[in-house]
A and B are shown apart, each in its own frame.
Chain A
Amino acid sequence: MLSSLYRPRQFFAERARVSLGEATGIVLLAGLAQTFYLLFLLPELLPRFSSAKTLYVSAGLLIGAGGQILTTGFYWFFYSGLFHSISLIFGGEGRFRRTVIYTGYGFGPLFLAGILNGFLSLLASRAVDPPSEIEAVDPYLTDVFAQDVFVWSKVVVLLVFLWQTWIWVGAMKHARTLSLKHATLTVCVPVGARIVWFVYRSNLL
């Protein structure tokens, strides 16, 4: 399964049967990794509050974390839908279920990005004073994620997009029985749009 990260085309060519269980596991791990930063921020935040407020702050952050896991799951189906739809133009064949399974393998790099983001949040949190009022939690998090060190996070996110593109090209070639050129077009159009949108919103240029 790990070879899908660094030899995607060979991986999908050799694996006659990829599994929904494996794909779901990869997406779930990727989603959980997006909440990894809470492991570092919660110990900074919670000792500042009384027990009643601790419960409130914890619940709020956990709901946000649950939202991030749900968002990762949503993007799994969203990208699957985009790849399935675009590949129809190139005569792509196969059920949507197959597209969903193969697309799931492309979420592996997100796991590494989430872990790195967690460590960056640990570094960034040291430069910001933790709040003692509930109303100040959100500005605190905004300040933490606005630290200079998170420029590296944005660079990593861009690299992860490119890495995912590489995996998905191999995946769509085999999932939808496409030529390499058509698989590349199928994947690069939506992911390219996402990269442009990300760069625009991140003020990277």
Chain B
Amino acid sequence: MTSATAPVVSAARGIVAIRSENLCRHYRMGETVIRAVDGVSLDVASGEFVALLGSSGSGKSSMLNLIAGLDRPTSGSVIVQDRDLAKLSREELAKYRLHVVGMVFQSFNLIASMTLAENVELPLRFAEVERGRRESLSHEALERVGLRARLHHRPSELSGGEQQRAALARALINRPKLLLADEPTGNLDSHTGTEIMNMLAEFNRELGMTVVMVTHERALAERYAQRMIFLADGKLVDDRPNVPAAAGGQA
């Protein structure tokens, strides 16, 4: 793919991967109602690299959780890969998270009692994949993020960057259509952060994955995202295309 030359600026020009319509997520805290997501409508095209920007409390993480199927909207709808998430049962949502979505978190979220290989193959266990195939897939995924030598190490024995790479390998293992990243570089120094971001961009480019990344760092978004969406107080305040500065795979 030659993504660098023609960034997708509008969903109308590609297949829609994510569509939200008047999406709302309200929490009740005692007497007050918190409008974490408040009427957001947007389309994300398949293969797009989108950055969700905003200050803390702007609702960007809540938005990501709704797209990930970890949370349900209070009203409105979010449709991902032709699935209306609000209408799925808990069981179907779990299947959706398992097969359609890969997630990366700020705090890596690897299971401390498991080795890297076990962490990476965990989604395959939920998908009831045979042991032999599980091993070869997890080794392949760890190979891809450069951790082949660390298969049997536990997360606590690794640096933050290595842990996040393992988390990326885990997110990739089921070959999802959608990669969701919540502040993936938030706990990393700038060097390892760049490393992770390059990988995200690579997956977006080479595997054709749609990437939605939540961040509060505008500079990071400008370097890598093809589109920047700004949220404030749960509302969409700006949506603009961006030519990623780092496009071309330079580290």
Are chains A and B native binding partners rather than an unrelated pairing?
Answer: no
